[in-house]
Structure 1
């Protein structure tokens, strides 16, 4: 099978398309999927570059895992004997490592049936970003109806799902993004939109129950004055770890305000929940661009620029 391979850490050019051995279903709870589409996430660019925290599990001098990708949509081609939720021919989407290839074999409990009202491209954009936003708001912040929620980086992959999910939970949502993204983020349901190039939300005097930093550009300390007395600041552990130990330590000492670090935990229950929201048209993925697998270098460059609008996906299946 064809796959995007990297054998050394470095710039996007270390990625090459090569023929590799197709995965086998070695475990009884695994599913063999022919990949139609896969997302390109910031996660992938950090692993490719050899960002120090990622080397802890992927090798210090060179990568142990040579195929990137953590989101997938595709068709089930084979199942292990203990797989009961899926059958051959099902269209599925979910989380798995190594999805920048023609075939993957994730475990059953990381997948869901694909929503009936969206394309493979759209489905592939949901798993990582959608679950990150969902778990941050529902599990970590324990969001409640009527709360004021601010999403910083509202036009990005995690951010644009967070805007929609916060509205589903009945919150009043303020979305922070750049000038060119204000209108479509407003159309996602945000009650207020702020242009960070023209104003800083910390200067507007408003207090928020939840501040979700979806792009790692703010710190807990910079947001303190904008949190309510029991407010929660959240950022994502897997991508933005620079200030985390300090934020967690000091954040636990500053009154009742909290600094939380979120590590996404993929699971089938959350995938099923997101599928139901998509089918009920309560949330929708926004795709900026779809690259072919052969354009993997260009896709990484684009995501690494830090200005993605919604999600970027790969077209893997041909013919």
Structure 2
């Protein structure tokens, strides 16, 4: 089968499309013919091996253990392994696994769900990663309730675009933070107000929120707390930092500080699971969530697709199709 592969850590320049052996499903696994795979920040970190701490956590010291990058997909079940009873060959599915930038991938059945019929394969392929992160952040950590004020920092990204829609669906009044070129996009998602972080300071103390969702950023905990209600909740989803530990220092500081202040400061470690995908499918069917696509590249141009993601010019999600 054709796959986008890497034999060392790095950016798009280490990738190459080549023929490799097709995987076979094991117990409680399904073999999926991948129709589309979404590119996201999580998959990019696994590809580059940064922060370096990831390498010590078992992903491979000198090269990734999984030579095919990609973590989110949508496709058709080709075969099922022993013990699989909930899915069958021919089912249209979406979910999460390693090695999705390929014609076929194997996934654990407990990380896969039936694809929403309302979505194309390309649209469904970009949903798994932000579904887990945004849904668990808002529902399980932020405990967002109707009428609350929610601030989403990083509102135009993969997780942010879904988080804004989810918070609105939960009945919150949402404010987004993004760059000037994405203000209209974030408003179209349902945000009542939007800060252009290049010209406005959302943490100047003039606005306060019940829940702040900070996604993939580097804003200090002190600044975020200035925009948080006295008994509000800050939820940190990922974060950028140095190449050694990434945003871990900020996350650890937030966790430690939370024991000393009235505000709740928490960190999300997203867990991949079928139940959250089913919840997302229901929200899609109800018209409350819809992914925003920018461009689709064929697998043969997978290197260019990842390069486009790295350039950061896209207003929506980038997809690789097979």
| TM range, smaller chain | over 0.9
> Counterparts of 1:213-252 in structure 2 under 5 Å?
213-237=214-238, 240-252=247-259
Are positions 1:168 and 2:169 aligned together? yes
Deviation at 1:191, TM superposition (A): 1.1
Q: Whole-Å Cα distance in 2 between the matches of residues 237 and 159 of structure 1? A: 12
The answer for unaligned runs of 5 or more in structure 2 is: 241-246
Q: After the TM superposition, which of the residue ranges 135-144 and 294-303 deviates more from structure 2?
A: 294-303
Is the contact made by 1:220 and 1:251 (CA closer than 8 Å) also made in structure 2?
no
Relative to structure 1, is the Cα distance of residues 204 and 225 closer, same or farther in structure 2, using a 3 angstrom cutoff?
closer
Aligned to 2:297: 291
Aligned to 1:120: 121
Are positions 1:13 and 2:13 aligned together? yes
Q: Whole-Å Cα distance in 1 between the matches of residues 90 and 297 of structure 2? A: 25
Aligned to 1:258: 264
The answer for unaligned runs of 5 or more in structure 1 is: none
Q: Whole-Å Cα distance in 2 between the matches of residues 50 and 110 of structure 1? A: 23
Q: After the TM superposition, which of the residue ranges 225-234 and 238-247 deviates more from structure 2?
A: 238-247
Q: Whole-Å Cα distance in 1 between the matches of residues 215 and 255 of structure 2? A: 17
Q: Whole-Å Cα distance in 2 between the matches of residues 80 and 296 of structure 1? A: 29
Relative to structure 1, is the Cα distance of residues 263 and 312 closer, same or farther in structure 2, using a 3 angstrom cutoff?
same
Q: Whole-Å Cα distance in 2 between the matches of residues 295 and 41 of structure 1? A: 17
Aligned to 2:212: 211
Is the contact made by 2:217 and 2:239 (CA closer than 8 Å) also made in structure 1?
no
Secondary structure (helix, strand or coil) at the match of 1:17 reads: strand
Secondary structure (helix, strand or coil) at the match of 2:287 reads: coil
Aligned to 1:282: 288
Secondary structure (helix, strand or coil) at the match of 2:203 reads: helix
Residues 239-297 of structure 1 show CA distances to partners (whole Å, capped at 9, x for unaligned) of: 643422222222332x2112211111011110000011111111100011112222222
Q: Whole-Å Cα distance in 2 between the matches of residues 141 and 219 of structure 1? A: 19
Is the contact made by 1:221 and 1:247 (CA closer than 8 Å) also made in structure 2?
no
Instruction: Name the TM-score, length of structure 1 as normaliser.
Output: 0.94
Q: Whole-Å Cα distance in 2 between the matches of residues 223 and 24 of structure 1? A: 47
Aligned to 2:44: 45
Residues 175-219 of structure 1 show CA distances to partners (whole Å, capped at 9, x for unaligned) of: 111222112211111111111121011125111111111231312
Is the contact made by 2:9 and 2:49 (CA closer than 8 Å) also made in structure 1?
yes
Q: How many residues align?
A: 314
Q: Whole-Å Cα distance in 2 between the matches of residues 180 and 205 of structure 1? A: 24
> Counterparts of 1:1-319 in structure 2 under 5 Å?
1-27=1-27, 29-51=28-50, 52-56=52-56, 57-203=58-204, 205-237=206-238, 240-253=247-260, 255-316=261-322
Q: Whole-Å Cα distance in 2 between the matches of residues 210 and 295 of structure 1? A: 40
Q: After the TM superposition, which of the residue ranges 224-233 and 112-121 deviates more from structure 2?
A: 224-233
Deviation at 1:298, TM superposition (A): 2.1
Is the contact made by 1:42 and 1:304 (CA closer than 8 Å) also made in structure 2?
no
CA-atom RMSD, angstroms? 1.6
Q: Whole-Å Cα distance in 2 between the matches of residues 305 and 211 of structure 1? A: 27
Instruction: Name the TM-score, length of structure 2 as normaliser.
Output: 0.93
Q: Whole-Å Cα distance in 2 between the matches of residues 265 and 87 of structure 1? A: 24
Q: After the TM superposition, which of the residue ranges 268-277 and 304-313 deviates more from structure 2?
A: 304-313
Relative to structure 1, is the Cα distance of residues 9 and 299 closer, same or farther in structure 2, using a 3 angstrom cutoff?
same
Aligned to 2:243: none
Secondary structure (helix, strand or coil) at the match of 1:203 reads: coil
Deviation at 1:97, TM superposition (A): 1.0
Deviation at 1:238, TM superposition (A): 7.7
Is the contact made by 2:187 and 2:193 (CA closer than 8 Å) also made in structure 1?
yes
